[in-house]
Structure 1
């Protein structure tokens, strides 16, 4: 008699390191940028060279990885999407954007004698994302767009995603929220719709030759982009250009060119950003530290502005002269950001208070194992789905 041993349970799939590193780079870039630019003259601090490196990578990485872990949206119903994903973006957005809007209005009143905040102005800022917490709102838009195009093939989905660039070409001014949609929704869609391609780039970047080549390409792209910005500053591309096709006439002016170049610039940096995340994920010490940041993006994203708000009212609004000790003030601002993150971290572990960051689930998970699996496939910004 032969006894066949029972099959051992499948080992849990190892968590990928590079997405956490990518998230960590994104949130680190966000915090450093905000901590420096919120101080008058902050772009002259010692941290600016690092800001220059991270600035073109942080948002493409953020939205790419968010899309990369959002492919399941293509299989969800609208009610499931709203309950299992959008809910976790909407609540923290409304709560913390409201805090930001109110304190910003108060600061404007103190500094410039601006009129008190009205409900109409509050509603406009909240709906248009005029807040430091606009990432949450943009993730709602990205997920809704991904769901709305779920029945389209990949090529058709990308076609309708890029179409607004042509439809908005006749506008002289593009509000920030429209610019964000045109630039970041396509990157999010690439992460979700071209997930296998992104994974292939990550695997290829593990090869030192390929990874190094992509990083060199990133340097060249950045240098060319800076030449373009310098040309803009000197008044180039001032004359609009008219193109005709199939009976349609399109007028492209300087503003349209900027939008197009900004999009191409960010798209071109996607493989570079992935390569950087892969390379850093293989550096002992650095990898673990940046992954830790990447696994705590929610508290870091919500928390660091809280420290900035306190710094603003304690020092900036009181007319402190930062010029004499600019680097020291930046370090103090960064410390305030760290304290704000610690407060958010503590709040995230306090019963009921934690709902301000992570609201209670509207739909109870069927099994703890399912919940554990979902935690590894949630959006880059919040760690929740």
Structure 2
């Protein structure tokens, strides 16, 4: 099952669009341009990042088959560079733009360890890749159980670090590992029994949302949030294979799902600009209802326009840096008579090798 599965892209695309809408709402809320019902929608779709990481885990299911140096060159190195580069970009942007909250000066010193703004995702993803690759096949059930326990404690409020990246790493690790470790089983379940999966997930999801919104005890409300994340991901897995075939919508979200990183990295810049622009328009009730979808769509389109522009100019490395061609991963192995260069994984492409 090595072929690309379209509905994985569709589900990831849907989740990233909801994330962009949330960040657009955060910017528009500065100007009181977000109706209360929009916040209910965001509350209803709070499982979006759990879904995103579950799908991302599915795309990382073959990590165990790859050499460490290949993982470094194709996964860890690009995302580490992206994290550092975009941290500088976002800190500079927040410092210069008058409509952005000024960052703490200490953020310039600690951003590799305490990510800024939405870049916590990249930091967490790097951690998840390392954990997934380090886990032997025989230890997967034990690591999965430990991740579920840590996630439950974080969701229920028993473990809280005060750093968004660290808390979210605990919450979302089992979702990523479920995709990375058990992708084939999850895929088979959605093929064999999507209706039964949905019939179980829907009532659990509804009950979880009710608990989260109406429970007087914080622990019970947090339990509702936990159940909502699990049942929301299960429901998405049940309906995504069919929903991805809807004409127009399916193709659009699938295309978005294949370009999530550039969109995720740059969308907040455009969301903040368009939100500030909306605030200058004459007050009108319709404006409040149109603000979030308009800013969301504009941020997505501008992010993809930026991707197209940098791709044409050869500057697309700002989104996905490539391992430098002259760096050839190898290992120097000590021998009695000196060091021997042992090639672990050839980086040269077939075209380069000719």
Q: What TM-score results when the alignment is normalised by the length of structure 2?
A: 0.77
What secondary structure is seen at the aligned counterpart in 2 of 1:361? Answer: coil
Equivalent of 1:190, from 162, 166, 178?
178
Q: Which residue of 2 aligns with 1:25?
A: 14
d(CA) in 1 for partners of 2:222, 2:163:
12
- What's the offset of the Cα at 1:150? 2.7
Paired with 2:153 and 2:26, the residues of 1 have a C-alpha distance of: 33
2:217 alignment partner in structure 1: 236
The whole-number CA distance in structure 1 between the counterparts of 2:240 and 2:302 is 26
Is 1:300–1:344's contact at 8 Å kept on the other side of the alignment? no
Q: Is 2:267–2:303's contact at 8 Å kept on the other side of the alignment?
A: yes
1:158–1:189 CA contact under 8 A, matched in 2: yes
Matched, 1:80 2:70: yes
- How many Å apart are 1:149 and its aligned residue? 1.9
Q: Is the 8 A contact 1:21 1:290 kept in 2?
A: yes
Query: CA deviation digits over 1:118-146, x for unaligned, max 9?
Result: 2x222334522331232211110110111
1:87 counterpart SS class: helix
Mapping of 1:1-385 within 5 angstroms? 15-40=4-29, 41-44=32-35, 51=42, 55-106=45-96, 117-118=104-105, 120-150=106-136, 152-164=138-150, 171=159, 174-204=162-192, 210-232=193-215, 235-237=216-218, 254=219, 262-312=225-275, 314=277, 325-362=287-324, 365-367=347-349
**Residues 276 and 166 of structure 1: CA distance in aligned 2, closer, same or farther (over 3 Å):** closer
In 1, the alpha carbon distance for the partners of 2:84 and 2:309 equals 17
1:290-318 Cα deviation digits (max 9, x unpaired): 212222223322332221232355565x7
Q: Against the structure 1 CA distance between its residues 21 and 339, is the aligned structure 2 distance closer, same or farther, given a 3 Å change threshold? A: closer
Match of residue 380 from structure 1: none
Uncovered stretches (5+) of structure 1, i.e. residues with no partner = 1-11, 205-209, 238-253, 370-385
Counterparts of 1:289 and 1:223 in 2: how far apart (Å)? 28
- How far residue 82 of structure 1 moved from its aligned partner, in angstroms, is 1.6
Aligned residues: 327
Matched position secondary structure for 1:127? coil
State how far apart, in whole Å, the 2-side matches of 1:60 and 1:128 are: 21
Task: Flag the 1:305–1:331 CA change in 2: closer, same or farther, 3 A.
Answer: same
Are residues 147 and 367 of structure 1, via their aligned partners in 2, closer, same or farther at CA, if it must alter by over 3 Å?
same
TM normalised by structure 1 equals: 0.72
Given the superposition, is the C-alpha separation of residues 97 and 142 from structure 1 closer, same or farther in structure 2, using an over 3 Å criterion?
same
Q: Is the 8 A contact 1:92 1:358 kept in 2?
A: yes
Q: Distance in 1 between matches of 2:311 and 2:100?
A: 36
- CA 1:165/1:311 → structure 2, altered by over 3 Å: closer, same or farther? closer
